[in-house]
Structure 1
């Protein structure tokens, strides 16, 4: 793995710990020689993680729609910044560049982006690791919801097991770098035992 795509808020959130952990995550990427792939912004946690990567001598690759460049939120100091016309083009370029995907705390955009790549995993379209960095319990309710999806028969246990959620940055990156699980297709009929458990 040489590049990690990070989805996170264009705001910094209510608690200082969100920015602190974004900064720590950026430093960890740079320390391991992993390129940051992200949405190209200079604001919120997006700017924080990029600044941390760059400050520690790492590489930061950003992709941003022209509309947001014109709104003056593009980061001007990145290793490379690609300007595209649409959000779909942005997400495609980020996906093509990265070998793994991590969600830091964020809002609608963060959720939409990480769940899109999770859906692609479910459909067997890629076998790259997807993880959530749980800062100050931010993703605790989401973790419970994923488990609830399994319990209610809307998500297979093997697919849930492909998603890492936790607060330890080194453990997250270690898991991503050793990730070898093949995608479990949504359309493969599960074994009888799993059908019984889901039912």
Structure 2
């Protein structure tokens, strides 16, 4: 974090745009809102899909954007070269650890298996007490409702405590997500 910043938020997002045009718009608006708040964006360093949209929103509005990416992905030219800071790691696990260490809260945009894997690992770390930051699902158009239903199923089946399910915070828009993630 640099002087004048009011925190940092890690955003997990798809490397594809998805089928709904509004998801890219929401990602861009989230990046712009992060920059407007004076916070830093920490994310997976991608330049396409929702990752590209959130980072472009922050960059277009003068924000600090920190990309964290494994060397193997850089070798495939998946990372942006125009970020405020680019951290290259040896592994995906190291990437997620750095992203967790450098933020005050997490926001999850729509995405696929990679986004799901990231949010579930962070949620597990929260439930085990390894992390304390808020974890927010930006539920654009109900995208995360199937996951929330699964969490309720885990709880009703006795595999998830109510307080563990409650750690999945839900926001309908970028401003609400930022308030939940950064206070």
Q: TM-score range by the shorter chain?
A: over 0.9
Measure, in 1, the Cα distance between the counterparts of 2:113 and 2:181.
24
Asked if structure 2 preserves the Cα contact closer than 8 Å seen for 1:143 and 1:165, the reply is no
Q: Residue 10 of structure 1 corresponds to which residue in structure 2?
A: 15
Measure, in 2, the Cα distance between the counterparts of 1:9 and 1:174.
22
Bigger radius of gyration: 1
Whether 1:104 aligns to 2:109 is yes
Q: Residue 138 of structure 1 corresponds to which residue in structure 2?
A: 143
What is the CA-CA distance between 1:99 and the residue it aligns to?
A: 1.4
What is the CA-CA distance between 1:67 and the residue it aligns to?
A: 1.3
User: CA RMSD of the aligned region, Å?
Assistant: 1.2
What is the CA-CA distance between 1:109 and the residue it aligns to?
A: 0.7
Measure, in 2, the Cα distance between the counterparts of 1:10 and 1:177.
24
Whether 1:52 aligns to 2:57 is yes
Measure, in 1, the Cα distance between the counterparts of 2:43 and 2:79.
11
Measure, in 2, the Cα distance between the counterparts of 1:32 and 1:85.
32
What is the CA-CA distance between 1:177 and the residue it aligns to?
A: 2.6
Q: Residue 117 of structure 1 corresponds to which residue in structure 2?
A: 122
Instruction: State the Cα deviation string for residues 16-53 of structure 1 (Å, max 9, x = none).
Output: 11101001111111111110001111111111100110
- The number of residues matched between the two structures is 178
Gaps of 5+ in 2: 1-5
Alignment partner of 1:136: what SS? helix
Gaps of 5+ in 1: 179-199
Asked if structure 1 preserves the Cα contact closer than 8 Å seen for 2:65 and 2:85, the reply is yes
TM-score norm. by structure 1 comes to 0.86
